[in-house]
Amino acid sequence: MTRRPLTGPPPFRALTGVLLVSLIPAFASAQVCVLNEDFGGAALPAGWDIGPDVERIDANGAGTGEFVPAWRAGTAAEANANGYFPVPDGPVDNRFIMANDDAPPCDCDLDSVRLTTPAIDLIGADHTVLTFRYFLDGAFGGDSAWVELTIDGSSWTRIAELVPGAGWQQRSVDLSAADGASSARVRFHWTDRGGWASGLALDDVCVRGRAAHDLALERLAFGDLRTSPFNSTIVGLDPVEVPVTQAASPSFSVVVRNKGHLPLFGVHATVDLALNGGPQGQWTSDTLALLAANAADTLVVRTDWVPTGPSVLTATATAGSGGSEDVPGDETGTVQRLLTAAGWADGDAAYAHRTGPTLGGLDAGGAGYLAGCRYEFQVDDLVHGLGVRLDAGTEVGAQVIGRLLNTDLQPVASTDTFHITDADVQAGLSWAWTYLPFDAPVPVDGGTDLLAVVEQVPDSGLMRIALGGEVRPGTAVVHELNALDWSYPLRAPLVRLHLGPVAVAVAEPPVRPDLILRQEGTQLIVRAPWPIRRVRMLDAAGRTVLVEGPAGTTASLQVGSLATGAYLLVVEGPDARATARFISGP
């Protein structure tokens, strides 16, 4: 059986040559947070007061004489280092601030710990609100947490209780009593009640004023976010590449929030579709009769659109209500998806949840394991093979098998056993894919979900599968062969399907890194030695942020609105393609 790496463009370590889902909010924040903190740095933010150091205690509850800070910024892995503070890792690799009664540097005396904001100038503010996320599981008696407010810096008023729950919770607290104050402060308080408890985690703290009517679109995604990701009867996942045969009647989830201080009535959303920029029609969601102040809800827009061929599908959503909008500008968003078909030029009929840069990897230290993603089939189709991207550390000679499993985790089909070659390893380092074909195409019935996984044969050498961007829970799956449990990570193992034949001996258009870039103000000029068919710019998370169509040998991209950071430019011609790295800075 022959196979080959599915190549992508060369370094800035090359991408895959396909578009990703991309959320492009068409707004700057309409109501600015006068205090805004996401605790993304390793150090405590300036101006925040974490109170006095607390004493570490021994296994018998006696003080050790060692004092450490009560609060620290960290990750979910750090929070649960000892297994007693399971903060969900969402979004993936997120940082937050926590008081943790178990993991280093505590065990500590956390009978009364406080986290206080810097002084907040609310002169001129109206209907001020505090919003934040928190995690409080309340385990082992650590279920008591609350929020306090001071206007004069000396007298504190308890203004909210925090209720324990299983995951991160979004909370809004009315601070209108502080309107006009020149130096208000908010304080978060938690206690372990003098025992061994878990902790309190806080993130995304914002204090802002509110207009009367302010509807915002917070998220736009393919699929139905309201259904369980394990529900195989409803299309609820959001792959970035979808074969044309499976792309009909896409649905969209539009998450809206009432950021005003009065209720909104008649809230709805519309979605406009475009194929390679050409309008395809407009569809509308059901209407919410009422959306309370500070509340959020998800509207689903279902379409009956049918694709005519491989292309870039763009969906633009707009949220509206039956009344006025006092702070316009944050009611729209855009997502994109690549529709693929057979043949290299049309994406080899790839079906992929994530492509983009490699953002890590997973392995079992040489032991047997399998990892992959779940795919939804709307209509009958044929699976010709799997693609996998290998991460650094994969050993030449390791043996792998591609498998299809049903939702009961039972085998449906398997490829031959393949030995990883040096070419496979080098392809993975270039963010390219290795193809594992089936001996014959595997038929799949419409209405079926399949797990596409790659298995490492135990003790054959180390296989490390690359990880891509974040996905919905239940999309990705990992299983060690000698274990009972299956896990569902939030980063996608880069395993995709091919619903059409993939050429294994046909020469591909060459990858040529011969671009000339020049920035003139907010314009980036791209020049190639061949006619440009399409230019795409992707950010570090693999999201497509700009697309430019045919433009002769020179293309111009507006880059003034790009956030500071590194981007990958992918330039495609009729028989060649090239990539370049672009740094956007102030």
* Whether residue 504 has pLDDT greater than 70: no
Is 267 within a domain?
yes
Q: Which residues is 82 bridged to in the sheet? A: none
- Residue 28 in any domain: the answer is no
pLDDT, tens digit, 9 for 90 and up, residues 286-341:
999 999 999 999 999 999 999 989 999 999 999 999 888 999 999 999 999 999 99
DSSP 3-state assignment of 138? coil
**Secondary structure element (H or E) that encloses residue 429, with its range:** helix 422-429
254 domain-assigned: yes
Q: How far is CA 576 from the centre of its chain?
A: 31
pLDDT bracket for residue 541 (50, 70, 90): low
CATH number at residue 552: 2.60.40.3080
Show the CA angle centred on residue 535, arms to residues 333 and 519, nearest 5°. Answer: 95
pLDDT value for 98? 92
In a domain, 476, yes or no: yes
Secondary structure (3-state) at 425: helix
**Same-domain pairing of 45 and 185:** yes
**To the nearest 5 percent, what fractions of the chain are helix, strand and coil?**
5, 45, 50
H or E stretch at 79:
helix 76-79
Q: Note whether residue 262 is domain-resident.
A: yes
CATH assignment at residue 98: 2.60.120.200
48 & 129 share domain: yes
Q: Is the pLDDT of residue 14 over 50?
A: no
Q: How confident is the model at residue 548 (pLDDT cuts 50, 70, 90)?
A: confident
Q: Is 30 part of a structural domain of the chain?
A: no
Query: Which segments of 197-341 does DSSP mark as H helices, in order?
Result: none
**258 with 294: CB under 8 angstroms?**
yes
Report the share of the chain in percent with pLDDT over 90. Answer: 59
Reading the block at residue 219, the tokens are 């998220």
Q: At 10, is the pLDDT very low, low, confident or very high (cuts 50, 70, 90)?
A: very low
Q: Say which CATH number the domain at 490 has.
A: 2.60.120
Which H helix or E strand runs over 545? strand 544-548
Considering only residues 88 and 253, tell me which one the structure prediction assigns the higher pLDDT: 253
Scanning the structure block, which residue is given the tokens 């992707």? 538
Query: What is the Cα–Cα distance from 530 to 578, expressed in whole angstroms?
Result: 11
CB 518 within 8 A of CB 404: no
What's residue 23's pLDDT?
Answer: 34
Which of the four pLDDT bands, split at 50, 70 and 90, describes residue 572? confident
pLDDT at 5 over 60: no
Same domain for 192 and 108, yes or no, is yes
Mean pLDDT across the stretch 245-259?
Answer: 96
Length of the chain: 586
Q: Is residue 237 situated within a structural domain?
A: yes
Q: Do 330 and 388 reside in the same domain of the chain? A: no
State which of 467, 498, 529 marks the end of a domain: 498
Mean predicted confidence (pLDDT) in 129-140: 91
Pairing type for strands 199-208 and 264-275 reads: unpaired
Same domain, 228 and 189: no
Verify that 402 and 428 share a domain, yes or no.
yes
Q: pLDDT band for position 29 (50/70/90)?
A: very low
Range of the domain at 555: 516-584
Same domain, 278 and 340: yes
3-class SS at 359? Answer: coil
CA gap 78, 104 in Å, rounded: 8
Final residue of a domain: which of 498, 532, 567? 498
Q: What is the pLDDT of residue 26?
A: 30
Shared domain check, 242 and 177: no
Instruction: Specify whether 493 is located in the same domain as 527.
Output: no
Q: What is the largest CA-CA distance in the chain?
A: 77
Residue 159 sits in the same domain as residue 259 = no
Q: Is residue 85 predicted with pLDDT exceeding 90? A: no
CB 443 within 8 A of CB 370: no
pLDDT over threshold 60, residue 567: yes
Whole-number Å distance between alpha carbons of 336 and 40 = 28
On the question of pLDDT at 350 being above 70, the answer is: yes
CATH code at 277? 2.60.40.10
Structurally, the chain folds into a number of domains equal to 4
Whether 441 and 487 map to the same domain: the answer is yes
Residues 241 and 201 in one domain: no
Residue 83 has phi, psi (to 5 degrees) of 85, 10
Indicate the burial class of 152 (C-beta count within 10 angstroms; 0-12, 13-18, 19 or more).
Answer: exposed
Contact predicate 179/122, CB 8 Å: yes
422 φ/ψ angles, rounded to the nearest 5 degrees: -65, -35
564 pLDDT band (50/70/90 cuts)?
A: confident
Residue that terminates a domain, selected from 346, 368, 390: 346
Query: How many C-beta neighbours within 10 Å does residue 413 have?
Result: 17
Average pLDDT over the chain reads 86
The backbone torsions φ and ψ at residue 584, rounded to the nearest 5 degrees and listed phi first, read: -100, 130
Q: Please report the pLDDT score of residue 117 as a whole number.
A: 97
Mean pLDDT of 239-266: 96
